[in-house]
Amino acid sequence: SEIIAVTVAYSAGIAANASTTVTLNAGAGAGYDARLATIALVAGQRWGVYIPDVPIPLQSDDTIDVLAPAGGAGVTSAVQIYVREVV
Indicate the pTM of the whole model: 0.85
Give me the torsion for CA of 51, 55, 57, 58, rounded to 10°.
Answer: 20
For 48-62, how does the pLDDT look when each residue is reduced to its tens digit (9 = 90+)? 999 999 989 999 999
58, 1 Cβ separation under 8 angstroms: yes
- The average confidence (pLDDT) of the chain is 93
